[in-house]
């Protein structure tokens, strides 16, 4: 399921959303949407982490975790508290998605669930030609909404970067869905919307598995953009590096520490205090990265569900999400995409996935 089964990935998706609510669900291409028409939020941040089932990331922390434990692996105290305080989708899965990690990123941004596993090595290769598919960027721009993708450890300040980069970046292109779409990769203006999230890389040069205690990066460039409406985009997709997204360790303590550093800063930002802004956090797929590896604790049987939480600032004058709410409904990555589309009355991208009547949006999580 991943580029490297033993070096696989944990992807967290942090989603902060700016959506506009109105009466119809679809608008024609080129239609314009006003901010006052968004249904639940006007700004959204999406964060995606890597390769962990919900039973590895939510529950009772267990530093002495073994492959027969039923509690989460390592320290999951913040993961659990932010879920309990906000809105947790306990039944969320990546059902209908193939192709490993990149397949999940493509699904949540286009509704396409059949990405080839050959694309795990990066885009624009003989085994992974660029995707000629409509995507969420097309829908946002057609509706005159803004977007930006933030990559932690991005080797360049902005643009489309297709190669893996280890220390000090720990950047993986198969966690960056935007560079896989031909109408982004071949458009310099769109490529410029893919930017570096942080100004300083803090992790040491160590071989995997990369587990704690270890410094976590602070995505200051991304956070700066949350400081004003002028700098924030309606749709923001934040991708941690492969250390912070827990791709490089079965133990979730590093990802827990990264979220504990980042989420309070997001929710307490000017944007989240004063605007209708929502944050979405999830993982790409269940199971864990190092299966059968002698260098890492193995994982117990994986639940099919993955961690998925909607959150907002509860003290804001414009809160968007419910607090202390849980749903066991079987939502999927297609449900998250459909939520963004329904929020801004965007057209569905694929009739059988995000556009299917059997795919429910996640409106139950919003005020």
Q: In this predicted model, what pLDDT tens digit does every residue of 194-241 receive, in sequence order?
A: 999 999 999 999 999 999 889 999 999 999 999 999 999 999 999 999
Q: Is the pLDDT of residue 167 over 70?
A: yes
Grade residue 264 by pLDDT with cuts at 50, 70 and 90. Answer: very high
pLDDT at 1: 44
Nearest Cα residue to 321 out of 264, 277, 259: 277
pLDDT at 54: 94
Grade residue 36 by pLDDT with cuts at 50, 70 and 90. Answer: low
Where are the chain's structural domains? 10-297+313-365
- Choice between 68 and 93, residue whose per-residue pLDDT is larger: 93
- Choice between 78 and 300, residue whose per-residue pLDDT is larger: 78
> What percent of the chain has a predicted confidence (pLDDT) above 70?
86
pLDDT at 60: 83
Q: Is the pLDDT of residue 156 over 90?
A: yes
């Amino acid at each position: 399921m991943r580029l490297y089964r033993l070096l696989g990935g944990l992807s967290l998706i942090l989603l902060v959303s700016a959506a506009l609510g109105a009466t119809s669900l679809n608008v024609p291409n080129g239609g314009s949407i006003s901010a006052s028409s968004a249904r639940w939020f006007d700004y959204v941040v999406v964060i995606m982490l890597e390769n962990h089932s919900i039973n590895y990331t939510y529950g009772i922390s267990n530093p002495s975790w073994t492959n027969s434990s039923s509690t989460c692996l390592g320290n999951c105290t913040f993961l659990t508290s932010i879920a309990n305080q906000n809105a947790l989708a306990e039944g969320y899965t990546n059902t209908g998605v193939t192709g490993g990690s990149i397949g999940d990123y493509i699904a949540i941004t286009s509704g396409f669930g059949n990405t080839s596993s050959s694309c795990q090595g990066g885009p624009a290769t003989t085994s992974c030609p660029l995707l000629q598919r409509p995507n969420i960027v097309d829908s946002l721009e057609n509706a005159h909404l803004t977007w930006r993708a933030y990559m932690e450890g991005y080797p360049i300040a902005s643009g489309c970067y297709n190669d893996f980069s280890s220390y000090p970046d720990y950047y993986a292109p198969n966690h960056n869905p935007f560079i896989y779409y031909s109408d982004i990769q071949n458009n310099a203006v769109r490529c410029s919307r893919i930017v570096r999230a942080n100004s300083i890389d803090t992790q040491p040069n160590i071989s995997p598995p990369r587990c704690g205690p270890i410094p976590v990066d602070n995505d200051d460039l991304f956070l700066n953009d949350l400081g004003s409406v002028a700098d924030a985009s309606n749709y923001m997709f934040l991708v941690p590096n492969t250390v912070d997204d827990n791709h490089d360790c079965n133990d979730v303590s590093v990802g827990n520490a990264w979220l504990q550093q980042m989420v309070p800063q997001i929710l307490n930002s000017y944007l989240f205090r004063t605007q209708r802004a929502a944050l979405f956090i999830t993982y790409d797929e269940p199971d864990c990265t190092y299966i059968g590896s002698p260098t890492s604790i193995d994982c117990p049987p994986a639940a099919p569900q993955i961690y998925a939480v909607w959150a907002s600032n509860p003290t804001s004058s414009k809160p968007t999400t419910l607090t202390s709410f849980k749903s066991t409904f079987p939502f999927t990555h297609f449900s998250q995409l459909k939520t963004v589309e329904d929020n801004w009355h965007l057209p569905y991208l694929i009739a059988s996935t995000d556009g299917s009547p059997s795919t429910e949006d996640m409106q139950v999580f919003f005020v």
